Amino acid sequence: MTVAKPLPHDSAALHVTGQARYVDDLPLPEGAVHLAFGTAPVAHGRLRSIDLTKVRAADGVLAVITAADLDHEIDVSPSPSPEPLLAGDTVQYVGQPVFLVIAESHLLARRAAALADYDIEELPAILSIEEAMEAGSRFEEGPRIYTRGDAAEAITTAPHSLTGSIEIGGQEHFYLEGQAAAALPQEAGDMLVYSSSQHPTEIQHKVAHALHLPMHAVRCEVRRMGGGFGGKESQGNSLAIACALAARLTGRPATMRYDRDDDMTITGKRHDFRIDYRVGFNGEGRIAGIEFLQLCRCGWSMDLSLPVADRAMLHADNAYFIPNMRVESHRLKTNTQSATAFRGFGGPQGMVGIERVLDHVAHAVRRDPLDVRRANYYRPLAGASGGDISEQAKTQTTHYHMPVEDFILHEMTERLVETSDYRARRAAVAEWNARNDVLKKGIALTPVKFGISFTLTHLNQAGALVHVYQDGSIHMNHGGTEMGQGLFQKVAQVAASRFGIGIERVKITATDTGKVPNTSATAASSGSDLNGMAVQAACDTIRERLAVFVAERAQARPEEVRFEGGKVLVGGEALSFDEVVRDAYMARVSLSSTGFYATPKIVWDRIKGEGRPFFYFAYGVAVTEVAIDTLTGENRILRTDILHDCGASLNPALDIGQIEGGYVQGAGWLTTEELVWDGKGRLRTHAPSTYKIPACSDRPDILNVALWDGANREETVYRSKAVGEPPLMLGISALMALSDAVASCGKAYPDLDAPATAEQVLRAVERVCT
Amino acid sequence: MYDFNVARPGSIDEAVKLLSDEDAQALGGGQTLIPTMKQRLAAPELLVSLTNIPEMQGVCRDGDTLSIGGATPHAVVARDAAAHFPGLAALAGQIGDPAVRNRGTLGGSLANNDPSACYPAAALGTGATIVTNTRRIASEDFFQGMFDTALDEGEIIVSVDFPIAEVSAYAKFAQPASRFALVGAFVARYADGVRVAITGASETGVFRWTEAEEALSQDFSHEALDGLSVDSDGMIGDIHGAPTYRAHLVSVMTRRAVAAAI
Ligand SMILES: Cc1cc2nc3c(=O)[nH]c(=O)nc-3n(C[C@H](O)[C@H](O)[C@H](O)COP(=O)(O)OP(=O)(O)OC[C@H]3O[C@@H](n4cnc5c(N)ncnc54)[C@H](O)[C@@H]3O)c2cc1C
């Protein structure tokens, strides 16, 4: 069976030979026009007028469009709260698109876009979380609050309590391929759109709306993205719509891509947070109650901020049963880029909050943080390991009242403690620190429990379209998009396995709204779960028809027919798959089918904070060891050991790739990736020369990744589990290891903010020493 | 980028003549100038490349002086100066990445006088002499603040004479994204005393830390620097580090340079 084989990425050879096509590589018909946005120079202001004379007169410029030229306000937002394509009377952040230049080339368009003379009356800008809280600048009428028990009471009556606060920076997606789109006008006003988007249906919908067309008149195709990470869930809308408008206006194909600096300046990033906490606990570090205040900087428009902030609340427990918990979340509106989806979708920030609390509590009770973590874990599953069965049988629930029915972190932690040699290494770290004054080491183990499903329940659906051609080769299509994560290959493995044939017989095809309609974004880690199941359903429909057909001929029952090793086995006979297909075609059997899947079991009330938002949880554990230079704050990850749960993996090679990449991206977020805005709201880190993402050489020299060998308890595709987002949060172990290293310098708690840049680490060392 | 022409003269005289045109500008490795032109912050009509002039190339020892041609790439210095002046060669070997080191030149780096560049620390820290087509300029007089030097319009750095130190070392704290020096300290010991030059830190560009020089001239050990620090007033504060952080790094990097030199 092809499923579970560690096959390479289907496009790996194309990637490394440069043959893989991205939007900007597509040969366009002659006469294509190129677009660029002119963007707002101030963070907040009234746009009195804008002189575009020089822009219009610039070389190669064909047309310039402002909001006033549009026949209606074009909305690019994925949320119910509109976001104009081009700023109208007010500008809301530095980098906001104000006008669109249509020119003969990319460079000419960009050059012209820089020539506008703005007359703007500057208004006070709200930039920081604190300013937004003070001004009451927010989305939604007030904070969202999820509670279980009485946290305030539990904290007051607990033997010990403490308070703290952590600032968590945002993160630039830094997909290697920037945002890009192209639109080709079709006959009768129809539009074909190519987009580097995780959400082709949204592109189709938004373009149709902008052009006053029914959705059937717009088709969006996405072969692949050069990375998405959530940054292409909604941020591609503007480019696709701009291209469609320009294509309609000029009657020529239109294409647009953001240059890296423009991309970083215009598009949203991961939400930065400040999380305040108050926690009550006993002398062992067992937590009785926590109050979290999550302050989330959303930027100027709503975008996906509400579900992102919800997910941060939903991961405020991570792996821990907190009997009394209150999470209060403020979604703050600021004059900065509109923060958006980013791998983990708020979950990572919520999880950093609780891991910080565990670290702080462990420091207060002077215990190994690992022991405190385990003491607070959700209860082991009934029958998992000895103890009082009746007590164990009671499933614990999260603070949003969802039963935790698949908790496997006790076993996973135990295994990783062993394989990583955690205890001995922790002792060695302590010994090193006793002997060395300048270089200090730290080690930490942190767990991940990540909820899988879109919290907007209706999004948990997917469709597929499978054709079997008369030669036995297969065309497979589904609503998921490929962004390098390997989704297409995994789903192709499912298709090949259903028919019992080799993977080379399955053609992977571009995501296309004309083939599979009404798709959800490839997001929430759900790509394989949803689309794998939909493809499986489509394949099974065709397989069933073939089984009926051959069974009838062989006077056997359809249930007895098996598809294996390129053969169809029936009544003791082994027919070749191709032969069966050919005969079925001749016998006029339909060889094409759609497939559909909707995730079962989930119900969720996001206002009350009650229900079962997730089908299941994916788990992981990581141990990271770091060294810090206590005189400069510089730090390095020395070694990382990871044990991660992909259920029964569809493809261990691709899954391990996702885990390694997720860890490195998570550790980068929390250590070197620092976004800096100046007092005027200008993002000063908008290129790799100022914004440091991890490179190959920043990967720890020792990076051991193993997969947990259990199947998903829920009926997912081949009992696998989602892997896109969860491993990012394994990177939290790097931040906690740094905290451990800093703590070794003195008595006080390090209080380390993220990202823990060298300067931050040095400050923490100074705090701890004095 | 605006349109421009390129000339590749084979002699200094020819280069100087071409540079007498006010819209002409010297081109070394182009590692700074070309990006600046791309951003349209500079728009010379004629670039006069200095990389084809034999007298401006290479490393040559004359007694206690190492003379390096103004158009010598960093990678060549890293390789060819190693046997004569290891501290200087090591500094050149830490500039940027291999591509930058293969193109960027000594003369370009000094003429540019970026406050975060490495070579200014070596020039000032050795008391080097900058030899131009018209005169010899002491390093003390050469650096005149951020991106500012004593060079006149059209004057070119032909070579630089570095007095070879008994021992020396450069300790650099690289800004993680660009690898430029957030703070770099060059320490060199000579028979008549120790010199310490700091780059990356000060708002006025590279400077000599004279207190440290005095202490080290008495006792060339990092302990000699105990209790010494620079004031954070006048240190650069930017997106990569606060003035206090830079001031702190000045002492740490100087100590490390001393330790490495011994
Ligand atoms: C990615 C990157 C990383 C870098 N990292 C570092 C680093 O870590 N440390 C560091 O020190 N530098 C670093 N640099 C800068 C690099 O060293 C440049 O090479 C140097 O600053 C300029 O040298 P150049 O020969 O390229 O000069 P150019 O860019 O050609 O010219 C720069 C200026 O000098 C003038 N000029 C050039 N040659 C002469 C001459 N002989 N006489 C008079 N004027 C002249 C030019 O007219 C121009 O004004 C980095 C650069 C890049 C792109």
- CATH: 3.40.50.10470, 1.10.579.10, 3.30.43.10, 3.10.150.10. Which one for B5-49? 3.30.43.10
Percentage of chain A surpassing pLDDT 90? 97
User: Ligand 1 mean position to B27 CA, how many Å?
Assistant: 9
Question: Do B245 and A690 lie within an 8 Å CB cutoff?
Answer: no
- Mean pLDDT along residues A61-79: 96
Model confidence band, residue B2 (pLDDT cutoffs 50, 70, 90):
confident
pLDDT value for A374: 98
For residue A695, count other CB atoms closer than 10 A to its CB: 12
- Residue B178 has its nearest CB partner, among A631, A689, A762, at A689
Is A291 annotated as catalytic? no
What is the fold, at CATH topology level, of the domain defined by B167-261? Answer: Enolase-like; domain 1 (3.30.390)
- Mean pLDDT along residues A302-310: 97
CA distances from A168 to A309, A368, A656, A675, B250 (A): 14, 24, 27, 11, 29
- Residue A672 has its nearest CB partner, among B173, B176, B178, at B176
The pLDDT of residue A390 is above 70: no
- Is cis: bond before B176, omega within 30 of 0? no
A219: β partners: A192
Question: Do B248 and A692 lie within an 8 Å CB cutoff?
Answer: no
**Where do the domains of chain A lie?**
12-124+173-266, 273-455+606-769, 461-598
pLDDT digits 0-9 by tens, A416-473? 999 999 999 999 999 999 999 999 999 999 999 999 999 999 999 999 999 999 999 9
pLDDT value for A388: 52
The pLDDT of residue A142 is above 80: yes
Q: What are phi and psi of A292, to 5 degrees?
A: -110, 140
The pLDDT of residue A649 is above 90: yes
The reply to whether domains A273-455+606-769 and A461-598 share a CATH topology is yes
Question: Do A759 and B241 lie within an 8 Å CB cutoff?
Answer: yes
Ligand 1 binding pocket includes B119 (Cβ within 6 Å)? yes
Question: Do B173 and A634 lie within an 8 Å CB cutoff?
Answer: yes
User: Ligand 1 mean position to A240 CA, how many Å?
Assistant: 40
CB pairs under 8 A between A and B: 31
Nearest ligand 1 atom to alpha carbon B74: 17
Q: Catalytic residue, from A560, A673, A725, A766: name it.
A: A725
Question: Do B176 and A689 lie within an 8 Å CB cutoff?
Answer: no
Question: Do A690 and B241 lie within an 8 Å CB cutoff?
Answer: no
DSSP code, position A215: G
Lowest mean pLDDT across A93-107, A384-398, A449-463: A384-398
* B179–chain A nearest CA distance, Å: 8
User: Cα(B204)–Cα(A440) distance, rounded to whole angstroms?
Assistant: 35
Task: Decide the pairing of beta strands A702-707 and A635-644.
Answer: parallel
**A402 and A612 Cβ atoms separated by less than 8 Å:** yes
User: Cα(A254)–Cα(A193) distance, rounded to whole angstroms?
Assistant: 10
Model confidence band, residue A391 (pLDDT cutoffs 50, 70, 90):
low
- CATH: 3.40.50.300, 3.30.365.10, 3.40.980.10, 3.30.930.10. Which one for A273-455+606-769? 3.30.365.10
Ligand 1 binding pocket includes B154 (Cβ within 6 Å)? no
Mean pLDDT computed over every residue of chain B: 97
User: Ligand 1 mean position to A115 CA, how many Å?
Assistant: 29
**A562 and A572 Cβ atoms separated by less than 8 Å:** no
A280: β partners: A161, A289
Three-state SS at B136 = strand
* A592–chain B nearest CA distance, Å: 52
Where b means 16+ CB within 10 Å and e means fewer, A223-240 reads bbbbbbbbbbbbbbbbbb
User: Cα(A173)–Cα(A549) distance, rounded to whole angstroms?
Assistant: 51
Residue in A with minimal Cα distance to B173: A632
pLDDT digits 0-9 by tens, A727-756? 999 999 999 999 999 999 999 999 999 999
Residue in B with minimal Cα distance to A634: B173
Which CATH code is given to the segment(s) A12-124+173-266? Answer: 3.90.1170.50
Architecture of domain B55-163: 2-Layer Sandwich (3.30)
The distance in angstroms from the start CA to the end CA of chain A is: 62
Handedness of CA A102, A103, A106, A107 (dihedral sign): negative
Three-state SS at A265 = helix
Pick among A260, A262, A762, A769 to test the B interface (most B CBs inside 10 A): A762
Question: Of B33, B124, B170, B173, which is best to mutate to test ligand 1, by the most ligand atoms within 8 angstroms of its C-beta?
Answer: B33
Question: Of B47, B48, B68, B112, which is best to mutate to test ligand 1, by the most ligand atoms within 8 angstroms of its C-beta?
Answer: B112
Ligand 1 binding pocket includes B120 (Cβ within 6 Å)? no
Locate A318 and state its tokens: 């991570």
- Mean pLDDT along residues A705-716: 97
User: Ligand 1 mean position to B116 CA, how many Å?
Assistant: 11
Q: Which CATH class is domain A461-598?
A: alpha beta
Three-state SS at A664 = helix
Pick among B38, B238, B239 to test the A interface (most A CBs inside 10 A): B239
Locate A695 and state its tokens: 């490179």
Question: Do B245 and A631 lie within an 8 Å CB cutoff?
Answer: no
Three-state SS at A84 = strand
- Nearest residue (by CA) to ligand 1, atom 19, is B104
- Mean pLDDT along residues B156-169: 98
Model confidence band, residue B40 (pLDDT cutoffs 50, 70, 90):
confident
Per CB-CB distance under 8 Å, the chain B contacts of A691 are 177
Percentage of chain A surpassing pLDDT 70? 98
User: Cα(B254)–Cα(A637) distance, rounded to whole angstroms?
Assistant: 26
The pLDDT of residue A389 is above 60: no
Model confidence band, residue A394 (pLDDT cutoffs 50, 70, 90):
confident
**Where do the domains of chain B lie?**
5-49, 55-163, 167-261
User: Ligand 1 mean position to A82 CA, how many Å?
Assistant: 48
pLDDT digits 0-9 by tens, A333-375? 999 999 999 999 999 999 999 999 999 999 999 999 999 999 9
Ligand 1 binding pocket includes B118 (Cβ within 6 Å)? yes
User: Cα(B58)–Cα(B127) distance, rounded to whole angstroms?
Assistant: 20
Which residues make Cβ contacts (< 8 Å) with residue A462, sequence separation at least 6? A478, A479, A480, A519, A520, A530, A531, A533, A534, A596, A597
Mean pLDDT computed over every residue of chain A: 97
CA distances from B44 to A351, B1, B188 (A): 54, 10, 38
User: Ligand 1 mean position to B104 CA, how many Å?
Assistant: 5
**A311 and A454 Cβ atoms separated by less than 8 Å:** no
Locate A271 and state its tokens: 């939400």
* B242–chain A nearest CA distance, Å: 8
Per CB-CB distance under 8 Å, the chain B contacts of A674 are 239
User: Cα(A610)–Cα(A604) distance, rounded to whole angstroms?
Assistant: 6
pLDDT digits 0-9 by tens, A77-88? 999 999 999 999
Q: Is A689 on the interface with B (CB under 8 A)?
A: yes
User: Ligand 1 mean position to A579 CA, how many Å?
Assistant: 69
Question: Do B177 and A631 lie within an 8 Å CB cutoff?
Answer: no
H or E element at residue B174: strand B167-174
- Residue A762 has its nearest CB partner, among B178, B240, B245, at B245
Ligand 1 binding pocket includes B157 (Cβ within 6 Å)? yes
Question: Do B176 and A688 lie within an 8 Å CB cutoff?
Answer: no
pLDDT value for A384: 53
What does the angle CA A23 – CA B37 – CA B203 come to, to the nearest 5 degrees?
115
Nearest ligand 1 atom to alpha carbon B96: 5
Ligand 1 binding pocket includes B49 (Cβ within 6 Å)? no
- Mean pLDDT along residues A576-588: 98
pTM over 0.90: yes
